[in-house]
């Protein structure tokens, strides 16, 4: 038996309020526990109707039978009687919320055979049946699906997993097995991308709408991303699609499958092909880059259930995909902020970029801390495997360090732009004050001249003058042209003094 297990990290619009679970663990757990009954009531409305070919003629003839069930499933919406009368595709999807118990920090190390952490990294799990997704007749890989599941994580990521029987795909193609495996790989990528979009649109978006509707005060979840934000185009898209082939080493063609599936995989400091080491029995699985392979010598298959031989390795792969995926998205968005900062000119644009940088920097720090915190509580076998996978991917070199560097670089760049803008504003203010000073000098000189002449010619005003001021009398005796020229010279001297001190300050 040969199976293909697909794992794809998908970008979604889900971000938890940072620190909400730590500030009030009881209220946080109560929020998630209270949502489960509401979710159980929502899921039957998300179940799609049966295709017209399998529905009864009477039900298929009902007006409005093509209405989307996802629309009716939104909070506050009610399904039409026609839509409610449609036969549905068996049992509804299953979604279970995980953060329903407050986390304790006491005596977490009760066992070494399981994870010590009481709270999972993901907030919910979902399980679908093939009939919950649009049918694709004639596709042997789609027809071979036996498992579809997803897990939702903080920081805008969902992991989609699918398990398919691929013996029908490979049957009868022994002579062209390598070409058939290449076709399988390409079809797996397409299927992963299509399924990711359908799962997010049909099931996850209504679930998130229900959760946000129950959290109007935004104490647990951050609000939805505005529709005009360019990042919304990424929601529902897979970052990549990994392909894990589960092969029975005793099956016909197993050696050829192993060698071809891993032909592009390289292991550092080992000149031998990785397939040789697998086939020689040095190890029974290889998780390196996109194409993975598990040699199933026990016949357990690829369900990765508790107790299965590759359960720990698959758990480690999940964690590695999550940490790499969320930090990769932050790295990409930081690069965009850096590019946008080169063209930002207005104060509003700078403040907007600064706010985005602050949020992304906080997310990056939280992700790095979560990995460190999780490593304390993971089962040792899982932690060793996760660290080995991330080390092979050069996680710290390619993501952690660049993200921290770009955070610092973006902060420095925005600070430079803000300082430059502040300098321009300061210079503009200085010029205004300089203009006021110049006009004040001229106005004061003219006022003193007018006052002196008024005292000299008006006996009533002279009665209040206890003594003639020689300075006022001298200014009053000067011609108006001399007053204007003198004011201009004094103003020019002030401009020279300003320019001298400004050049000294900018240097």
Tokens of 203: 């099931």
- Given a contact cutoff of 8 angstroms between Cβ atoms, the answer to whether 164 and 145 are in contact is yes
Band of residue 467 on the pLDDT scale cut at 50, 70, 90:
low
Tokens of 219: 């104490």
Q: List, for residues 317-358, the tens digit of each pLDDT value.
A: 999 999 999 999 999 988 888 788 777 666 677 777 778 888
pLDDT of 504 higher than 90 = no
359 vs 330: CA distance, rounded Å: 10
Q: Identify each DSSP E strand in 270-342 by its residue range.
A: 285-289, 291-295
Q: Characterize the bridge pairing of strands 145-153 and 157-165.
A: antiparallel
For residue 78, the model assigns a pLDDT of 43
Q: List, for residues 132-163, the tens digit of each pLDDT value.
A: 998 888 888 888 999 999 999 999 999 999 99
Q: List, for residues 407-424, the tens digit of each pLDDT value.
A: 888 778 777 767 766 776
For residue 161, the model assigns a pLDDT of 97
173 vs 350: CA distance, rounded Å: 60
For residue 459, the model assigns a pLDDT of 63
Helix (H, G, I), strand (E, B) or coil at 84: helix
Q: Half-sphere exposure (CA, 13 Å, Cβ side) for 25? A: 8
Band of residue 261 on the pLDDT scale cut at 50, 70, 90:
very high
For residue 506, the model assigns a pLDDT of 56
pLDDT of 26 higher than 70 = yes
Tell me, rounded to whole angstroms, the distance of Cα 285 from its chain centroid: 31
For residue 278, the model assigns a pLDDT of 87
Mean pLDDT of the chain: 82
Band of residue 236 on the pLDDT scale cut at 50, 70, 90:
very high
**Residue 359 buriedness (CB in 10 A; 0-12 / 13-18 / 19+):** middle
Q: List, for residues 480-501, the tens digit of each pLDDT value.
A: 777 777 877 877 887 777 777 7
For residue 73, the model assigns a pLDDT of 45
Quickly list DSSP for 86-112: SPB-SSPPEEEE---S----S---S-S
Tokens of 74: 């939104």
- Given a contact cutoff of 8 angstroms between Cβ atoms, the answer to whether 89 and 50 are in contact is yes
19 Cβ contact list (under 8 Å, min separation 6):
none
Mean pLDDT of the 245-256 span: 90
pLDDT of 51 higher than 70 = no
Which residues are bridge partners to 90 per DSSP?
none
Mean pLDDT of the 258-281 span: 84
For residue 21, the model assigns a pLDDT of 85
pLDDT of 458 higher than 90 = no
Instruction: Please give the radius of gyration of the chain, using alpha carbons only, rounded to the nearest integer.
Output: 36
Residue 2 DSSP code: -
Mean pLDDT of the 84-97 span: 71
Band of residue 105 on the pLDDT scale cut at 50, 70, 90:
low
Tell me, rounded to whole angstroms, the distance of Cα 350 from its chain centroid: 21
497 vs 507: CA distance, rounded Å: 16
pLDDT of 196 higher than 70 = yes
Helix (H, G, I), strand (E, B) or coil at 122: strand
Q: How many angstroms separate the Cα of 286 from the Cα of each of 261, 273, 314, 367? A: 11, 12, 11, 26
Helix (H, G, I), strand (E, B) or coil at 19: coil
- The more confidently predicted of residues 49 and 374 is 374
What φ, ψ does residue 315 adopt, rounded to 5°? Answer: -60, -45
12 Cβ contact list (under 8 Å, min separation 6):
152, 156, 157, 158, 200, 204, 208, 235, 236
The predicted model scores a pTM of 0.77
Share of residues in the chain with pLDDT > 70 (%): 80
Q: Compute the C-alpha angle 231/209/85, nearest 5°.
A: 125
Tokens of 316: 């480690």
């Amino acid at each position: 038996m040969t199976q293909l297990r697909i794992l794809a990290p998908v970008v979604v619009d889900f971000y938890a309020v940072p620190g909400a679970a730590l500030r009030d663990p009881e209220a946080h757990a109560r929020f998630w526990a209270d949502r489960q009954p509401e979710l159980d009531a929502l899921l039957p409305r998300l179940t799609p109707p049966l295709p017209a070919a399998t529905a009864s003629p009477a039900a298929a003839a009902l007006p409005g039978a093509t209405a989307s069930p996802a629309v009716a499933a939104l909070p506050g919406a009610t399904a039409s009687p026609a839509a409610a009368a449609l036969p549905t595709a068996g049992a509804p999807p299953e979604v279970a919320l995980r953060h329903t118990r407050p986390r304790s920090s006491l005596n977490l190390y009760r066992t070494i055979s399981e994870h010590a952490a009481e709270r999972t990294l993901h907030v919910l799990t979902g399980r679908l049946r093939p009939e919950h997704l649009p049918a694709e007749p004639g596709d042997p890989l789609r027809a071979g699906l036996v498992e579809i599941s997803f897990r939702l994580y903080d920081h805008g990521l969902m992991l989609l997993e699918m398990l398919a029987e691929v013996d029908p795909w490979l049957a009868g193609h022994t002579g062209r097995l390598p070409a058939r495996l290449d076709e399988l790989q390409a079809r797996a990528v397409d299927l992963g991308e299509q399924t990711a979009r359908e799962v997010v649109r049909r099931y996850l978006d209504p679930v998130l709408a229900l959760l946000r509707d129950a959290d109007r005060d935004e104490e647990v979840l951050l609000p939805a991303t505005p529709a005009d934000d360019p990042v919304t185009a990424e929601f529902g898209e897979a970052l990549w699609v990994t392909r894990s082939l589960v092969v029975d080493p005793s099956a016909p063609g197993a050696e050829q499958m192993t060698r071809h599936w891993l032909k592009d995989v390289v292991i550092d400091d080992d000149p031998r092909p990785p397939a040789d080491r697998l086939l020689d029995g040095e190890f029974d699985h290889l998780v390196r880059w996109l194409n993975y392979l598990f040699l199933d010598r026990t016949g357990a298959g690829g369900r990765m259930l508790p107790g299965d031989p590759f359960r720990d390795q698959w758990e480690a792969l999940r964690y590695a995909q999550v940490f790499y995926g969320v930090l990769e998205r932050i790295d990409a968005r930081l690069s965009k902020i850096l590019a946008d900062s080169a063209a930002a000119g207005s104060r509003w644009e700078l403040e907007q970029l600064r706010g985005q940088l602050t949020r992304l920097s906080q997310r990056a720090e939280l992700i790095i801390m979560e990995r460190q915190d999780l490593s304390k509580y993971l089962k040792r076998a899982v932690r060793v495997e996760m660290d080995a996978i991330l080390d092979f991917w050069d996680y710290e070199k390619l993501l952690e360090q660049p993200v921290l560097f770009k955070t610092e670089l973006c902060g420095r760049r925005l600070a430079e732009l803000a300082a430059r803008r502040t300098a321009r504003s300061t210079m503009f203010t200085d010029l205004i004050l300089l203009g006021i000073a110049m006009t004040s000098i001229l106005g004061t000189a003219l006022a003193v001249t007018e006052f002196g002449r008024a005292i000299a010619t008006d006996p009533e005003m002279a009665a209040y003058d206890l003594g003639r001021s020689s300075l006022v009398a001298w200014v009053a005796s000067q011609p108006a042209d001399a007053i204007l020229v003198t004011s201009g010279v004094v103003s020019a001297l002030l401009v020279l003094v300003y320019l001298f001190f400004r050049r000294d300050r900018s240097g």
